[in-house]
Amino acid sequence: MNRHEKIQQIAVTAAQMQEIEGRIFAGGMPVAALMEKVAGLIYKRVQSLFPNSSVPIKVGFLIGPGHNGGDGLVVARELHFRGYQVNIYRPFSKLKDLTAQHDLYAQSLGICYVENVADLQDCDLIIDGLFGFGLEREIKDNLAEAINELNEWSKPVISIDLPSGLHTDTGEVLGTAIKATHTLCLGLWKLGLLHDRALEYVGKAELIDFDIPWTDITAILGETPQIQRVTTEFIKQHLPLPRPPVTHKYKQGHLLLICGSRKYAGGAILTGLGARGSGVGMLSIAVPESLKPLLVSHLPEALIIGCEETGNGAISSLPDGVNLGSYDAIACGPGITTEATTIVEEVLANNKPVILDADGLNILAQMGTISTLEKRQATTVLTPHAGEFKRLFPDLENLQQNRVEAVKKAAELTGAIVLLKGARTAIANTSRIWIIPESTPALARGGSGDVLTGLIGGLLAQGIAANTNSLVERVVIAAWWHAQAGILAAKERTELGVDAFTLTQFLNPVLANHFSSLL
């Protein structure tokens, strides 16, 4: 993996970025020279996104007091030289020294300065250079009013580094924030851009790599950064899953799914189809006896285990012949209802890797999440959405404030691999955090989580059968694969939503699209 590919996987906090930049400057890089280099990369990208024509594009700039404003002024100068019609709104009188110098030069060139943000309303494009990383204070008063007015225009907005008003680490809106259509993140990805609540403001984000020395990055973050942004290059290290030329079905993993009830029969089918898509060698599915014919018709290759059921059609017990220790992994929860408490207790008491989802998680919450999982020696994977997470970890009140910290703490408290679903799914074990940086709102349909549970289970079972120690990477792969299938399905169908059954049909096309050279 080359340097650029490694850079794409890193996400940093404001403090980490400040330390890394400090090393760059301490090494002898002049601040002014770095600003010129970075701004040069920005204006070239702006030119490619919005090429000038015989009728000059009118560009409005929002200029702040710090180096983000300095970057903006250099970009404004360069676009002015290339025939763009530039207008600058600078609501601050006191500027940092370097920014003030660029401001004086822009004025000497005759670039137009405007008094009010409303004077930029006839611009074709707005470039936001108000605040860079590290903003902590809330935006108020006249500046907040100006940002709110600009957000109402529905014009293309390019934010430099991150939209002004977003907290660098958490994506929190500090009073108000610019709603960008494009964000050009500088140097390294800022963690706040990967939070769900920031997505409304970020638009299409891309990294402007200005050649930070790798030694400066590793000096602060270590050789293996704690937070990793999951990229296709990362996935290519693990997919397609290797298969020896001589093998058989049981060497490719045996997964047991425990799912479904009379009320939620579809949960069992969708989980099974997700597992099928993983390529697992053998699939067994335990369902209430009354659902057995239905499952056989949808998954004829699976071993369907009929179970005694309650009066409401939930699994009441597993058959005597089912030995949980004979499977490589067990996934439990979709559609079982909270009547199946004894089943979840039995599953957690065994020494095989377990994936819990849906009612499996709700039952675990009733049992006591931390006290129950502290007793487990084998791998446990929890896959909650936000509501289930709150039930599992009621004391982690900072979920909405910082999803990344919340999932990290949950993993530390339980020793489990915790996957917190969302527009930017976060996965954590006790030492690292992975964030899926791309998804689609089309996945906001019932049953898509069941597909993910089956996919995770199938990949884990194959990992156990292959004696791999990188089980958390299998969970990360499943989350990425699931998201990519949703993106692909939405492109071919509709962004209004991809039903879970259709989603399962796009699992294999993801491999064909991304790894055709490897297949």
Annotated binding residues for (6S)-NADPHX, written as ranges, equal 67-71, 132-138, 161, 335, 385, 450
Annotated binding residues for K(+), written as ranges, equal 68, 128, 164
- Report the candidate in 100, 28, 33, 38 with the shortest Cα–Cα distance to residue 66: 100
N-term to C-term CA, the chain: 19
Continuous segment of H or E residues that includes residue 227 = strand 227-229
* Whole-number Å distance between alpha carbons of 212 and 34: 10
| Beta carbons within 10 angstroms of residue 175's beta carbon | 15
CB within 8 A of 337, min separation 6: which ones?
A: 261, 263, 264, 312, 314, 359
Q: Give 316's DSSP letter.
A: E
Annotated binding residues, written as ranges, equal 67-71, 128, 132-138, 161, 164, 335, 385, 421-425, 449-450
| Beta carbons within 10 angstroms of residue 142's beta carbon | 10
Q: Give 121's DSSP letter.
A: T
Residue linked to tokens 């500046």: 143
Q: Give 380's DSSP letter.
A: E
Helix (H, G, I), strand (E, B) or coil at 184: strand
Cβ–Cβ < 8 Å for 214, 46:
no
CB within 8 A of 437, min separation 6: which ones?
A: 194, 229, 230, 231, 424
Annotated binding residues for AMP, written as ranges, equal 421-425, 449
Q: What b/e string do you get for 309-338 counting C-beta neighbours within 10 Å, with b at 16 or more?
A: beeebbbbebeeebebeebbbbbbbbbbbe
* Whole-number Å distance between alpha carbons of 501 and 450: 10
